[in-house]
């Protein structure tokens, strides 16, 4: 009698285990909970990467516009320079323009040495630095034409994703330093005169 009771209990337990093995209710919910963190990471990662690419594109367009605006003039004033910088900030919309640092300079290519020397420079943005008189800067070889002038625009932009982590796995978002540079030749004259700038010979 005792053995029959044990056998019945064992049979009932085996049936329960078998029914549990074939019961798939809730599996989808468990799988979703396991995959959700990965899905969220991919989602936010895709958004931030696409935003970073868009901001980098904005930087490239802005640096070209600054150089182009100044090179269209034979003579420029402080107001025109300020308007060019304001245009650059507007072009960064809808992204913040506070991290934007812009510099516009005129460069002269020395006839003999082909060194590129700055003749005037103007900067805008917190932390932006302008070039000093006769400071030697790097210019592409193809643009090193003896005795000519170039308008050089430079932009840097610090892009910080909304969500992310750094290499130390903390929760601080990393900052990506985006930059670009553009050269154009004066269109209306040999050089773009800037009377308000400090004389540089």
Cα(76)–Cα(74) distance, integer angstroms: 7
Buried b (16+ CB within 10 A) or exposed e, 149-183: bbbbbbbbbbbebeeeeeeeeeeeeeeeebebbbb
Model confidence over 133-192: pLDDT tens digits?
Answer: 999 999 999 999 999 999 999 999 999 887 655 555 555 677 889 999 999 999 999 999
pLDDT tens-digit readout, 44-94? 778 888 888 999 999 999 999 999 999 999 999 999 999 999 999 999 999
- Give yes or no for a contact between 102 and 124, defined as CB atoms under 8 angstroms apart: yes
Strand, coil or helix: 140: coil
């Amino acid at each position: 009698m005792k053995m029959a009771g044990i056998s019945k209990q064992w049979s009932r337990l085996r049936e329960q285990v078998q029914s549990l093995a074939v019961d798939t209710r809730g599996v989808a919910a468990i799988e979703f909970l396991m995959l959700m963190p990965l899905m969220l990471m991919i989602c936010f990662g895709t958004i931030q990467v696409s935003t970073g690419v868009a901001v980098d594109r904005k930087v490239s367009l802005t640096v070209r516009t600054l150089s182009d605006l100044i090179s269209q003039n034979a003579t420029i004033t402080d107001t025109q320079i300020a308007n060019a910088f304001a245009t650059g900030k507007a072009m960064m919309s809808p992204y913040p323009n506070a991290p934007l640092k812009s510099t516009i300079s005129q460069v002269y290519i020395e006839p003999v040495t082909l060194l590129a020397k700055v003749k005037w420079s103007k900067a805008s943005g917190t932390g932006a630095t302008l070039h000093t008189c006769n400071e030697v800067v790097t210019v592409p070889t193809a643009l090193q034409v003896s005795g000519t002038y170039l308008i050089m625009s430079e932009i840097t932009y610090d892009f910080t994703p909304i969500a992310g982590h750094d290499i130390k796995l903390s929760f601080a978002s990393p900052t990506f330093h985006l930059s670009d540079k553009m050269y154009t030749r004066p269109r209306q004259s040999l050089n773009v005169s800037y009377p308000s700038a400090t004389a540089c010979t």
